[in-house]
Amino acid sequence: MPVDDYGCTFWWKDKKGKDSSTQWSPFTEDTKYFNPPKKDFMFNYRVENLHKLLAILKNEGVSIVDKVEEYVYGKFGWILDNDGNKIELLKPINSAFL
């Protein structure tokens, strides 16, 4: 697999022919990025409206982790599922990634 600093990107087309991608990103063994809890992995989902979704999830009693972080390529937020697994939510800036 061709990897760069972020791992490997797999490009594909959705049902409408729109470019989309799936990212595989390995981290160092001692990373704290997946905390809490202490896990070896984390799922990342693309969302349309991060702030609105986080507000809905919070209202539903879902645990929100930290604050939203914004970068030139997108906005990130994190939640914990019912089993305590950390899930990353991404609102990409470039619509080709959504």
Q: How far apart are CA 62 and CA 86, in angstroms?
A: 11
**C-alpha dist (Å) from residue 6 to 45, 89, 91:** 16, 17, 17
Digit-coded pLDDT (tens) for 28-81? 888 888 888 888 888 999 999 999 999 999 999 999 998 999 999 899 999 999
CA distance readout (Å), 46 to 1, 84, 91: 23, 20, 6
Domains in the chain, start-ordered, CATH in brackets?
36-97 (3.10.180.10)
The model's pTM: 0.78
